[in-house]
Amino acid sequence: MLVAAMATIVPLALFGAAIAASDVRITALDCASHPRRIAIQNKGDAAQDLTGWKLMSDKPNEVFDLGVVGTVEPGVNFYVFNGHTAPLVPEQVGGEWIYGWNPSEVYDPSLFVLDENGTDFIRLVDASQFPWREVSAMPCAGTLEIPPLQQPATPSPSPSNAEPGAGGTTAQTDGNQAASAQTDGAQSTGASQNASASGSTTASSRTGTTTAQTGNASGQVVGGPASGIGVLAVGSGRPLGGYALPLGLLGIVASAVLALVGGRVLRRALRRS
Amino acid sequence: MKRIALIAPLTGVLLMLFGLADRGIEVPPSAQAADLPWLYPASGQLTVPGSGALVGQSPAMPAACTNCYITKIVPDLVYMNDPLPLDNPNGATANYNNDTNDNVWLHHMVLLDLCTGSAPIFASGNERSVFQLPTGYGYYSGPGCSWIVSYHLHNQNPSPRNVALKLLITYETTAQTRVTPIWLDMKGIQSGSEYVAPLGYSDSHTGETGFAPDYAMPIQGRIVAIGGHVHDYGISVSAYNNRLGEWICTSKGGYGFGSRFLPTGGPDTPGHPAAATTETLNPAYHEPGGSPDNKYHIQSMTPCDLYSRNSVVCLNDVIRLHTQYNNADQFPIADAMGIMTMYVANTSTNPPGVPDADNDGIFDGCDSGDSDLDGFSDRVEFPVGTDSSRKCASNSLDDAWPADVNNDKFSDISDIVQIGSSFGKAVPPAPARRNIAPDPLDGFVDITDITKIASYFGRGCT
């Protein structure tokens, strides 16, 4: 019981560190065309290694591992195209790279990870170390609110592609992330989503086409504002920036309560024994 | 069939626009034409899911007519059994239509003829350009022939829409000079036809890395119609004949005035126009929404002027396709295209439109031989407009000998003066009759022409 309580407390206490700034930003998003399109730029003065970085959409299995991009030089743009007519292998056009996320020459709407459905979005996450940092996000047209980033339950950084066997990454084929990842990944992620509240929720499936995202075990309170908050100028949803402080305080209070309750339960159990 | 099944659905192909091009060709008389609507599906409808796409191909279907000559095709995407029959009655054109409840559009359809090895014989993008052959020419649809149509439709409305592909076919039952479609494609139809155009201005051509090889003409003959296709932000697509060193056709995109997709930035040289064309907005191509509300999608492609010299294609001629885009979007264009289709009347199917003076099987426009021994090869005489089979004029209107410009049976100062009057000019606008050298011709009246005619100075013909 104590272990369970502590496992719950750790991610809660770390919540406040989830906010981060970065010069690598999502600069444009298209959630309607074939393919869906994401533009990313390094707006800073220094190169940025994207090993362990991810693009994540609204569903847990919708993860694109940006390790394939490598290091992005200052001022450089690159693009991730998704679904129908996305490039099957990374393609350099006009000096800029385009990567395919669930690419397919054949139209299959299930391969799209982005839609103008009122809830969809994309976020850029530095998952190279724990806790993960959401560094940029952008909503699809019509989306009014981006929910906070869910941290993985286990305090481990996202593995790179060179570290097989770890969870939370997307397998890739020739630098692009395969169409079958979506389906297979959903299954793997399903296992991850159903993990117990113990926090040991990291799913790992390196079958070559599997996407798995960690986290979201019940009882966790995780989150973090997106750098794309400013885009969300309209709508009835709570401004995302407002979540940080209240949730952080709430987390601390909740942790203390849970620790007290857990301690009492543990004490009673010891007395009975 | 496997190949069809593979190509048709995968191919993000398209094509369109076919310009008229009949200048001074003798053609058989035209019979009365008949019009016939050809629909797919023949009954029922295609349902395009809301905010989605529909990509597929038909089964083999009877051709619109058989043992007939198709002379014109008017493509369209029309509503059929739509859930909103009052707004979208059967047969009404489906497009953006400046209506948020509309927004069903034709990414492309490609018509394949199973009698010609499933070759594409016609295609249309959303511009829906009309295919029109000159009088006397027709695409022959043989007995028992079947067609397959592959299609890619988009619906930007949240609700499903029901549509059908429509081709209004005009055909003749009497013999016409047959044409063969030749498909030219920046990426290649087997590769899906689509390529990625970067941000900003780009000029791409076949033969460069990442694109299809230049095309080697599989037949000889005369191009009687040609058309091009590009997507939004496309300036132009052009075909260049390496043998001639000349542009065959430059087709420019047409956009409603004020369109956000209207591209400029070309160098304004032959084959590379400075900008696409602006024209009166066709409301069917207005996608409402955005700020400013100027989503006027590409709505036409310009036709081409073909003349005697650039319309001639010879076996193994190397044709290079160039496409210009100026992409003002925030993303590279994932489905850029540059396609042209030419319709060639060739000697193997019907000699009358494409003369062969010495009957050696090589079309005069391609024959380096001199059938009438007048000092000028057949391939020079054909575009010049003189008779390849006779060396001397019979009257002042009888163009027979290139060195005798005024047809007085002598080559003298009067002929040199006529050529000299166009000195330094390209053909056209200079008359083709004044460009007689070198061999093959260079499309320019200059010192080579003066030198050539001077070599016959004072000579007569009989």
3-state SS of A139-167 is ECCCCCCCCCCCCCCCCCCCCCCCCCCCC
Chain B residue with CA closest to A82: the answer is B334
Assign B51 a pLDDT band (cuts: 50, 70, 90): confident
B51:A94 CB<8 A:
no
Question: What predicted TM-score, i.e. pTM, was given to this entire model?
Answer: 0.75
Assign A64 a pLDDT band (cuts: 50, 70, 90): very high
- The answer on pLDDT for A257 being more than 70 is no
How many Å lie between the alpha carbon of B51 and the closest alpha carbon of chain A? 8
Among A93, A96, A101, A110, most B C-beta atoms within 10 A, so best to mutate, is A93
Assign A149 a pLDDT band (cuts: 50, 70, 90): very high
Q: Is A217 strand, coil or helix?
A: coil
| Same domain for B409 and B306 | no
In this structure, is the dihedral angle defined by the CA atoms of residues B209, B210, B214 and B216, taken in order, positive or negative? positive
pLDDT at B306: 87
Spell out which residues of chain A touch residue B150, defining contact as CB-CB under 8 Å: none
Cα A81 to its chain centre, rounded Å, is: 17
pLDDT at B190: 86
Q: What percent of chain B has pLDDT over 70?
A: 91
Phi and psi based region of residue A109 (left: phi greater than 0; alpha: psi -120 to 50; beta: remaining): alpha
Average pLDDT for A17-27: 71
pLDDT at A178: 64
Assign B355 a pLDDT band (cuts: 50, 70, 90): confident
Average pLDDT for B376-392: 93
Average pLDDT for A266-270: 60
Instruction: Point out the least confidently predicted range of A226-230, B101-105, B441-445.
Output: A226-230
| Same domain for B374 and B310 | no
Strand order across the beta sheet in which A36-42 lies: A24-30, A36-42, A77-84, A96-104, A91-93
Assign A242 a pLDDT band (cuts: 50, 70, 90): very low
Assign B428 a pLDDT band (cuts: 50, 70, 90): confident
- The answer on pLDDT for B410 being more than 80 is yes
Burial degree of B3 (CB within 10 A; 0-12, 13-18, 19+) = exposed
| Same domain for B327 and B294 | yes
pLDDT at A115: 93
How many Å lie between the alpha carbon of A93 and the closest alpha carbon of chain B? 6
CA distance B65 to B56: 23
Cα A215 to its chain centre, rounded Å, is: 10
Helix H or strand E segment including B224: strand B221-229
- The answer on pLDDT for B389 being more than 60 is yes
Q: Which CATH superfamily is domain A19-219 in?
A: Lamin Tail domain (2.60.40.1260)
| Same domain for B344 and B420 | no
Partner residue facing B53 (CB), from A39, A87, A107: A107
Average pLDDT for B336-343: 96
B196:A93 CB<8 A:
yes
- The answer on pLDDT for A5 being more than 90 is no
Assign A210 a pLDDT band (cuts: 50, 70, 90): very low
Average pLDDT for B25-44: 70
| Same domain for B153 and B33 | yes
How many Å lie between the alpha carbon of A39 and the closest alpha carbon of chain B? 7
| Same domain for B345 and B438 | no
Phi, psi of B53 (to 5 degrees): -140, 160
Partner residue facing A30 (CB), from B10, B152, B331: B331
| Same domain for B174 and B302 | yes
CA distance B426 to B432: 9
CA distance B7 to B55: 12
A109:B52 CB<8 A:
yes
B51:A115 CB<8 A:
yes
- The answer on pLDDT for B8 being more than 50 is no
pLDDT at B429: 87
Q: For residue B228, what are the β-bridge partners?
A: B340
Average pLDDT for B56-82: 96
Which has the higher per-residue pLDDT, A204 or B13?
B13
Partner residue facing B332 (CB), from A34, A93, A107: A93
| Same domain for B447 and B305 | no
- The answer on pLDDT for A269 being more than 80 is no
Partner residue facing A106 (CB), from B9, B54, B198: B9
CA distance B95 to B284: 6
Residues of A with CB under 8 A from a CB of B: 27-28, 30, 32-35, 37, 39, 79, 81, 84-87, 91, 93-96, 98, 105-107, 109, 115-116
pLDDT at A170: 36
Instruction: Point out the least confidently predicted range of A170-184, B75-89, B196-210.
Output: A170-184
Among residues B335, B351, B367, the one where a domain terminates is: B351
In tens, the pLDDT along B227-277 reads: 999 999 999 999 999 988 889 999 999 999 999 999 999 999 999 999 999
CA distance A73 to A25: 13
CB environment B81-118: b (16+ within 10 A), e (fewer): ebeeeeebeeebbbbbbbbeebbbbbbbbbbbbbbbeb
B154:A34 CB<8 A:
yes
Residues of B with CB under 8 A from a CB of A: 9-10, 12, 49, 51-55, 152, 154, 156, 192, 194, 196-200, 202, 330-332, 334-335
pLDDT at A262: 56
Assign A215 a pLDDT band (cuts: 50, 70, 90): very low
Assign A216 a pLDDT band (cuts: 50, 70, 90): very low
Q: Look up residue A142 and give its DSSP letter.
A: T
In tens, the pLDDT along B118-169 reads: 889 999 999 999 999 999 999 999 999 999 999 999 998 889 999 999 999 9
ipTM of the complex: 0.74
Residues in chain A: 273
Assign B353 a pLDDT band (cuts: 50, 70, 90): low
Q: Could you tell me how many CB contacts below 8 A there are between chain A and chain B?
A: 61
- The answer on pLDDT for B331 being more than 60 is yes
| Same domain for B322 and B174 | yes
Assign B35 a pLDDT band (cuts: 50, 70, 90): confident
pLDDT at B61: 95
Q: Inter-axis angle of helices B447-454 and B413-420, to 10 degrees? A: 170
Average pLDDT for B25-34: 46
* Number of separate domains in chain B: 2
Q: Residue B44 belongs to what domain range?
A: 2-351
In tens, the pLDDT along B281-303 reads: 999 999 998 889 999 999 999 99
Among residues B333, B351, B369, the one where a domain terminates is: B351
| Same domain for B311 and B291 | yes
pLDDT at A154: 73
pLDDT at A4: 39
Which has the higher per-residue pLDDT, A220 or A94?
A94
Going by their DSSP bridges, the two strands B246-256 and B277-279 should be labelled as: parallel
In tens, the pLDDT along A88-131 reads: 999 999 899 999 999 998 889 999 999 999 999 999 999 998 89
CA distances from B18 to A154, B303, B460 (A): 63, 6, 44
CA distance A158 to A51: 9
Listing DSSP states for B172-214 in one string gives ESS--EEEEEEEEESS-GGGTS-EEE-SEEEEEETTSTTSPPP
Among B107, B193, B291, B330, most A C-beta atoms within 10 A, so best to mutate, is B330
In tens, the pLDDT along B77-109 reads: 999 999 999 999 999 999 999 998 899 999 999
Q: For residue B279, what are the β-bridge partners?
A: B256
Q: Over chain B, what is the mean pLDDT?
A: 89
Assign B307 a pLDDT band (cuts: 50, 70, 90): confident
- The answer on pLDDT for B438 being more than 90 is yes
| Same domain for B300 and B362 | no
Q: Inter-axis angle of helices A2-13 and A244-272, to 10 degrees? A: 170
Among residues B351, B385, B402, the one where a domain terminates is: B351
| Same domain for B266 and B408 | no
pLDDT at B27: 35
Q: Is B58 strand, coil or helix?
A: coil
Chain A residue with CA closest to B8: the answer is A106
pLDDT at B121: 94
CA distance B185 to B266: 20
